[in-house]
Structure 1
């Protein structure tokens, strides 16, 4: 099989398409023929050794994987060859096939295209966990979504809007803000502008927000927190802006506000059945047209290095998805 494998974390130049033996599933494992692998910001960091977790070498990037089962190991009774599935791993997806534990696999509804399932697997679950588990979102809340054109940001806009909240999307480019409006945002702001907080006050009902969804950090962090109403919740998902924001502690006291970390992997580890139920519900809502499918920028496996570079670019549009050449044909209706 072909795999995009790296022998060091020095740079993406250390990676190349390589012929590797087809792996065989052991007891309790399954082998997927990969149909699509979605990539996020973390994948770009991990492939270059810049993430807090450093996987062993040689390393095959890509963890948000969708495909079709082509082999099952001993003891696997709930899955069968031909099943359409997704799984979230720390890597292995930028290859023709991958072996994973059967317990880490979820089924995909028949009418949901596998690239869509891969693209929404992590971002939609993260956005849902952020808003409803950590953020305690209600229909009366005013929500500011930073990085609203990113994978998690766009999913948060769509989910919050459909929950009845007033959504303000923050993004730097006009086309990104227009895309957020199409997802359901009632207002937008350009947070690259020095007076963006004044623009936020002007469009937010009452001049403040109740919830901040923040996967960006950096210079937007403190102004966003200062924009909270009393009893507001600022949800920290990451630092795609490149810098870890800082905050005077007295602001939390003055606002009577919560600064909340969002670790979706902790949710998956401690509440696996609840997380599985949420994933299934999100898949069905996209299949049924209740939620919009994620925007995608597609690459082939031969373009794997460009795909990883795109994860770190502020200019990308939609979720980066890698589709192996000659891979699984998928006929879902949402492509």
Structure 2
């Protein structure tokens, strides 16, 4: 089979598309014929040899990727035969997703609903569950005003859709005018380009006296700090990433001065309502199956994984990046097309 393997830490071009021996499922595992593999910004750090949080730099060589969707093609010992041929999506124990075949534990899998595409399923299993978990933490109500950084990213696109449907006034902040327009098409009421140094003033004026009560910060750096400074008294600031390369820098005096609540909203916080990650994943998949959320997906052929990483690091990507088998990939502008505003 073909896979994308990393032999040496470093830049995106170190990812090599090559033939390797297919993995064999062990006890309680299945082998999946992969139709879509999710790509995360954390994997760009792991590729560089930098660990993050509970994720250490991987031993080399390694096939990165922690989430896949596809069809069960082989069973390990102890697995019921009913799994064979089943369309599934799930997370892997560690790595191995950037490949034509991957091994996963049965308990980590969900059946893909009828008529759901593999790329949609893989976009929802982690990115979708993260968005729903953040919404649980935020507890937004109709009439609230929420600001979403990285508004055209995988998580941000889902947050905007969900908040819009809840009757929340949404401010979408993204890098570049095209991404700002994308945020508007997803349901944002106001959109701004954070590359414009005056964007906070433009947002303040557009709100006409309304105060921002919730900020979802997945960018960090200068943009995250500017978003925090727009937060009204008593507001919530939810940190969930730093695509800029550095987390938003805040002090105790900042928090006291704003009378704000600052939450690192990843990890245990995501499960405050769902209870378990599996339950949260199931909710996310069902939300897409019901049509309540539609992930914005950008597809890359598996043999262009290096390009996917480079675009992700360069913040050129729109939506959730998904790798698909090179032989079946259709990497066209339509793959990143704007979604219609929910309800239209």
Q: TM-score, normalised by structure 2?
A: 0.87
Give the Cα separation in 1 of the matches to 2:159 and 2:313: 20
Q: 1:230 to 1:162 in 2, by over 3 A?
A: same
- Measure, in 1, the Cα distance between the counterparts of 2:269 and 2:225: 26
Structure 2, gaps ≥5 residues long = 330-334, 337-344
1:272, CA displacement in angstroms?
A: 7.8
Aligned to 1:310: 311
Q: Return closer, same or farther for 1:272/1:230 CA change in 2, 3 Å cut-off.
A: closer
Listed one character per residue, the Cα deviations across residues 64-99 of structure 1 (whole Å, up to 9, x for unaligned) are 211111112222249611111112234211111011
Cα pair distance change 1:71/1:78, threshold 3 Å: closer
1:238-290 deviation digits (Å, cap 9, x = unpaired): 1111223222422311322111002247757x988643333323323323322
Separation (CA, whole Å) in 2 of partners of 1:216 and 1:224: 10
Q: Deviations over 1:101-144 (max 9, x none)?
A: 11111111011100111123222211111121x22222232100
Alignment of 1:128-277 (within 5 A): 128-132=132-136, 134-204=137-207, 206-264=209-267, 267=270, 274-277=276-279
Does 2:51 align with 1:82? no
**TM-score, structure 1 length as denominator?**
0.89
Structure 2 match to 1:331:
none
Tell me the SS of whatever aligns to 1:70: strand
Matched residue SS, 2:225: helix
Shift of 1:35: 0.4
CA contact (8 A) 1:216 1:238 kept: yes
Equivalenced residue count is 328
List alignment gaps of at least 5 residues for structure 1: 329-333
- Give 1:64's match in structure 2, choosing from 63, 67, 78: 67
Question: Structure 1: how far apart are the matches of 2:109 and 2:38?
Answer: 16
Q: Could you tell me how far apart the structure 2 residues matched to 1:248 and 1:232 are?
A: 16
Separation of aligned partners in 2, 1:249 and 1:69: 51
Give SS of 1:54's match.
coil
Aligned CA distance change for structure 1 residues 162 and 209 (closer, same or farther; 3 Å)? same
CA distance in 1, matches of 2:125, 2:314: 21
